[in-house]
Amino acid sequence: MNFLKKILSSLNNNSNMNKYLILGIGNIGSEYDDTRHNIGFEIVDELSQNLDTKFESVKLAQRAEGIYRGKKIIIIKPNNYVNNSGRSLVYWQKKEKVSNENILVVCDDLNLFFGNIKIKPNGTSGGHNGLKDIENNLGTSKYARLRIGISNNNKIPKSDYVLGKWNSFEKSNLNNLKTSSIEIIFSFIQTSIEETMNLYNNKNFV
């Protein structure tokens, strides 16, 4: 019996290793569409299209599910605001039994120039309230994040800037950013975060 339990446990562990949770950070509500703070939502929307799957309303989130090269991908958009992203992530991580190593959070980053995309295995919130809430709920900062540079504008309040609409230059380059972000996400899933960082972190995508 113990031998059988070990086999079943091993199978479950292997199954969980092939399961990934990709969460996009953003604000719900049509008034936040096309704003810089919602780039996380836009990228996971693009990811769901690439995987030919659609979102459905579930507990604490919009959820989609797809398969990429034999690996199960769960895509989450919290049905809340940016600074309340953590509860949704932790709920779906536990429900789907996804390891911390297989979580990837997609968000905007004021500290990176527009056109820069960085993937990292851990780190500080960098002042991002969504990442702060995830760290508080998850109990660790050791989870991967894909940061999409949105630049900064010190002439206007930070909240006004991140909640502002894309300007014409940014809008004309968004498709490049989305396409590159999906490529990075698939690399993270298929290879490793170290290899993905080496391939993409020093590039400019506009």
User: Is 37 part of the annotated catalytic residue set?
Assistant: yes
Q: How far apart are CA 70 and CA 81, in angstroms?
A: 32
**What is the 3-state composition of the chain as percent helix, strand, coil, each rounded to the nearest 5?**
45, 20, 30
Please say whether the beta carbons of 73 and 61 come within 8 A: no
The catalytic residue among 20, 22, 37, 63 is: 37
For residue 205 the two structure tokens come to: 């995508």
96 CB-near residues (< 8 Å, 6+ apart): 19, 21, 74
Angle of helix 39-50 relative to helix 168-190, nearest 10 degrees, comes to 60
Please say whether the beta carbons of 95 and 16 come within 8 A: no
Q: Which residues are catalytic?
A: 37
